[in-house]
Amino acid sequence: MAKKRKKTMEETVYLIQQGDTILQNELIHSYKPFIAKTVSSVCKRYIHDSDDEFSIGLIAFNEAIQKYSPEKGSSLISFSEVLIKRRVIDYIRTQSKHQVLKLDYSANEREEDQTGNTIENELSLNDYKRKTDEELRREEILQFNEVLNQFELSFNDLLQQSPKHADARKNAMMVAQLIAEHSELKQMLLEKKRLPIKQLENYVSISRKTIERNRKYIIAMSLILIGDYVYLRDYIKGVLET
């Protein structure tokens, strides 16, 4: 009897998204150690199954399963890791804000001392937000770098070959937006790992020579728009507003 072929992660996720709850529970259970490790890295302490933060991590992993698409270029693990960290950080921030509000509420009883405590807590929360944002940004860049490698690109390529003028960057970004929003062009980019220049000529008035000159930049911007990159999208927003 032929051995039954093991499902790929993409096949498993697709079946779950179609409503296979048994497979969903099996996948979540098998990745509990990964979820705990990811949550622990945010909380800077060992996380138990009974901790609220672990529950947030489980919910976030399930959310990642439902939202995941191979077309975004990253693996489920990379995608879920970023999402889990975001959700846990949001939870910690919310809890910290509630604590600050409690301190404010009781300020009438010990106004002088309590005011100092409230300011200290607000400063601590802001410092935590800054540090966690930096960590998430670093994680996002590492994840994006993995995707760039699949296209034989690097951040160094982008630094060297990014359009120097604002108008050129904006035109390249318009091409990237077209690719991200056009299902056929997007599929060609992701499957063939190269820019569909010939097909793009049918949709844009920019010359082939200009597209080819900015090829690496357009690919990178397209991948950011296709993927789930919160911080890198801020960069794109900045380019479009200049």
Distance CA 82, CA 71 (A): 17
Written as tens digits, the pLDDT of the chain (242 aa) is 445 667 788 889 989 999 998 999 999 999 999 999 999 988 888 888 888 899 999 999 999 999 888 776 678 888 898 889 888 888 887 776 555 444 444 444 444 444 444 444 444 556 656 666 777 777 788 888 888 888 998 888 777 778 888 888 888 989 999 999 998 999 999 888 999 999 998 888 888 999 999 999 999 999 988 887 777 877 676 655 55
**224, 236 in Cβ contact below 8 A?**
yes
- CA quadruple 16, 18, 19, 20: dihedral, nearest 10: -50
Instruction: Please name the residue ranges forming H helices in 68-206.
Output: 76-105, 111-150, 155-161, 166-181, 183-192, 197-200
Please state the pTM of the whole predicted model: 0.56
- The kind and range of the H/E element at 35 are helix 32-43
- CA quadruple 195, 200, 206, 212: dihedral, nearest 10: 20
Contacts of 200 (CB under 8 A, 6+ apart): 175, 178, 179, 185, 211
Which of these, 82, 91, 183, 65, lies nearest to 138 by C-alpha position?
Answer: 82
- DSSP-derived letter for residue 72 is G
Residue type (1 letter), 183: S
